[in-house]
Amino acid sequence: MKVAIIHDWLVSQRGGENVLDAICEMFPRADLYTLIYVPGQVSGNIARLNRHVSVLQKLPSARERYRHLLPLMPWAIERFDMSPYDLILSSSHCVAKGVRKRADAYHMSYIHAPMRYMWDRFDEYFAPGRYSPLTRMAARALRPWLRNWDLRSAGRVDHFLANSKFIAARIKEYYGRDADVVYPFCETEQFSVSRKPGRFYLMVAALVPYKRVDLAIEAFNRMKKPLLVVGDGPDRARLEKLARQEGAENVEFLSGIRGLSLADMYAKCKALVFPGIEDFGIVPIEAMSAGAPVIAFGSGGALETVTSETGVFFDEATVDGLIAAVRKFEEKSGKQGFDSEACRARGRQFNRARFQREFWAALKAHVPARIWSSAETAGIALGLEPASPEAGSIARNPRP
């Protein structure tokens, strides 16, 4: 059996690339295809695979300005020759699912999100001030064509996996297809530090509009409570200016924090603030794994990870809505508190071994026997065979 793994681009190691790492570990002899690759930016399991890059790699500044190449990405992904492969596994948040294959080959696509730039988050990505008026005009002109390609290319996928029920609903809405849910993971053991909550609240996020860091800043400025924002991104200057309005000094920005330093911040924060709508959301998993509760907007993937035992929700994406949630959190903390061990237990449910077991179970359930039989031995060797029928059923009916 020849296996190809496809990922949109490899320029950093984030949540999507961690999922890819786990898939690459399961298929160490697979060939890896990606549009853009930056050496030294990905994990060993990814880097050791036999790698193929697209023609876009040769374009000037492609590694730094790859997002500007979006109009060319459908063409580039279709140029990959998949004819030698029996099984194709795509990890897609943009165009990776659009590869062409042999009629008798099988393609399973793990969707982190449909092409969000062109669907539900177009206005956020191309908001005024983020790009030049010319770029925004071009994006608006290209949007119908890219959405049409995204819809047509979905027909090349034999079966979809989604990273949350929220994204499975998007797949159904946009593509008219069903999807099994296999939740992502974080390396939960990295966050097993002593819980010593302090006075500050914490946000960990890329500084881009849909993360709603602005909403958190305005809310905490009004409450005059300390908020630490960990992250970087194109909106940093605007957000720092917003944080300093009317002489406020309660919001602090940090960047380049990761590993044990980040785990320590989770352990010492009063609570994680999570005001955006995420497809899944790894950050709450990290926070809960460190024993910290979460204050989250009640939409998207957070509804599938945070529980009433591990945090509180707010239903209106407004400053007043977040302020009310913080007050509710503090009232609950004062009365009964949030059990750090309950938070840790919830976070640990979303672990790497579970992801691999459920991904494997989904493959066994859907890939035809004529293709699958040659992978059985590898799966048993990796310890991915479920111990019981119930252990392998979660991919079709997830209950985290």
Contact of 363 with 399, CB cutoff 8 Å: no
Same fold, 3-185+351-392 and 188-348: yes
Q: For residue 258, what pLDDT is reported?
A: 80
The residue written with tokens 């690339």 in the block is 17
What's the rounded mean pLDDT across residues 157-186?
96
What's the rounded mean pLDDT across residues 266-278?
96
Q: Is the pLDDT of residue 392 over 60?
A: no
Please state the pTM of the whole predicted model: 0.88
Tokens of 175: 């593509």
Q: Is 297 exposed, middle or buried (0-12, 13-18, 19+ CB in 10 A)?
A: buried
Contact of 185 with 354, CB cutoff 8 Å: yes
SS3 63: coil
Q: Is the pLDDT of residue 250 over 50?
A: yes
pLDDT, tens only, 316-372: 999 999 999 999 999 998 887 899 999 999 999 999 999 999 999 999 999 998 887
pLDDT, tens only, 6-34: 999 999 888 899 999 999 999 999 999 99
Q: Number of C-alpha atoms within 13 angstroms, CB side, residue 134?
A: 1
SS3 387: coil
Q: For residue 384, what pLDDT is reported?
A: 62
Q: Is the dihedral of CA 31, 36, 41, 42 positive or negative?
A: negative
SS3 351: coil
* Angle CA 176–177–181, to nearest 5: 135
Contact of 24 with 46, CB cutoff 8 Å: yes
What's the rounded mean pLDDT across residues 58-65?
86
Q: Output DSSP code: residue 295.
A: E
Any idea which architecture 3-185+351-392 has in CATH? 3-Layer(aba) Sandwich (3.40)
Distance CA 287, CA 308 (A): 15
Distance CA 236, CA 203 (A): 14
Distance CA 175, CA 329 (A): 39
Domain ranges of the chain: 3-185+351-392, 188-348
pLDDT, tens only, 64-110: 888 878 889 999 999 999 999 999 999 999 999 999 999 999 999 99
Contact of 399 with 183, CB cutoff 8 Å: no
Contact of 294 with 346, CB cutoff 8 Å: no
Q: For residue 193, what pLDDT is reported?
A: 87
Q: Output DSSP code: residue 157.
A: -
pLDDT, tens only, 205-225: 988 888 999 999 999 999 999
Give, rounded to a whole angstrom, the gap between the first and last alpha carbons of the chain.
Answer: 32
Q: Which residues pair with 92 in a beta bridge?
A: 111
Q: Which CATH number fits domain 188-348: 3.40.640.10, 3.40.50.2000, 3.40.50.80, 3.40.50.300?
A: 3.40.50.2000
Name the residue among 204, 210, 200 with its Cα closest to residue 191. 204
Q: How many other C-beta atoms are found inside a 10 Å radius of the C-beta of residue 63? A: 16
> CA 97 from chain center: how many Å?
16
Q: Is the pLDDT of residue 190 over 50?
A: yes
